[in-house]
Chain A
């Protein structure tokens, strides 16, 4: 690939997908500065593995995956106390959410539970519950089979229910939806 082609491709990629990547990074990392930093890291990864990118039926799925992995790694790398900072940030965010914004609340709950989950469950939960991908789409994004995805989602639901129950012992749950 020559420099001109690379520049053209990078511009097209950025202008088409930059916002999606930024939004994903902002969801995880919470501040514009951190999201901007992550955006650059993600696009560096993209340019380094451009050959792989060109074969993707859904570049958005591929970019979302790279951004998700990167952000989960950043959070993991911050180590000490990041989940406490998360919980505080999420609590503030939830207070400002409009009533009835089920999607926002769901996204915040997933966000809050991330630190209690393994890497694979984190990824599956974000794709399915936040992005609202279908199970087939989420399985493709996770590079796993449908049964494996469902297993990871069930694990997430189990953790989520325990967390909710801890806050309100009177809650009664029906059969798990997955």
Chain B
């Protein structure tokens, strides 16, 4: 179906946006010099790109982009419960006491992650694979086992990755006090459909978050690190 023996569409596109260097760049330039049809494709690509920017200039894009950024329904990250720390602590306690030790608590190597759907009454634990909806509010709790440092990473249905915890800084957070606790926020799901994956990462050392993100993205196992993953199916 595809020979893959010449310059691919993707390679030509990378050339057009100026990403190629070294041997790749030389290979494409040599192919362009030798192949008039390839030159036509490259020219057509350049013209289409110019036309796109003429039709959809950045200034107009920027206006709409800002409007969408300000749309509350797209707000992803959750919030401390309204009256602050006291209520958040109460919610934590309610969650931990409401959840069973086993069952919905997804367990890893001596660690655990619990995801619960927050409602007006008792938080409802969700098993991995559960269906959730835009606007649902989730509370998450962890069991860090013997590990001192934690992070919570989310990947939404579009593949975008978000570090939910810690909320600031460049490295994993030192867990406060007990090995079992709730994360100090709730999450309100946005409208992006698809799988919402929550990965809790536990480590002996405060590893850089960038490294943790890379490992989560690649399903890589790092030494001295344990992870637990919960996958939710978000429907619109």
Binding site for B on A (CB under 8 A): 7, 10-11, 14-20, 22-23, 36, 39-45, 47-49, 51-52, 55, 58-60, 64-66, 69-70, 72-74, 76-77, 103, 106, 109, 127-135, 137, 143, 157, 160, 177
Contact = CB atoms under 8 A, between A and B. Distances in A.
Nearest to A74: B193
Contact of B58 (A14, A20, A70): A14
Interface stretch (B48-56, B80-88, B116-124): B48-56
B193 A66 contact: no
B213 interface: yes
A131 B10 CA distance: 5
Contact of A19 (B4, B11, B48, B235): B48
The secondary structure that dominates the A interface is: helix
A40 to B, nearest CB: 6
B162 A133 contact: no
Given A77-B193, A132-B4, A10 B56 contact: no
Interface string B59-97: 001101100110000101000000000000000000000
A41 B61 contact: no
19 contacts: A10-B65, A14-B61, A18-B52, A19-B52, A40-B65, A45-B159, A49-B160, A52-B213, A55-B214, A60-B14, A66-B159, A66-B160, A69-B157, A70-B158, A74-B193, A128-B2, A131-B13, A132-B10, A133-B8
A126 to B, nearest CB: 11
Given A43-B65, A103-B9, A131-B10, A49 B162 contact: yes
Given A48-B160, A48-B162, A73-B194, 20 more contacts: A10-B62, A10-B65, A14-B61, A18-B53, A18-B61, A19-B52, A23-B48, A39-B56, A40-B61, A44-B69, A51-B210, A52-B213, A55-B214, A70-B192, A74-B193, A77-B193, A109-B1, A132-B2, A135-B4, A143-B217
Q: Interface range on chain B: under 10, 10 to 19, 20 to 34, or 35 or more? A: 35 or more
Contacts of A49: 160-162
Interface string B14-26: 1001110000000
B76 to A, nearest CB: 7
6 shortest interchain CB distances as A-B pairs: A132-B8, A69-B159, A73-B194, A77-B193, A19-B52, A45-B160
Contacts of A44: 65, 68-69, 74
B217 to A, nearest CB: 6
Contacts of B160: 45, 48-49, 66
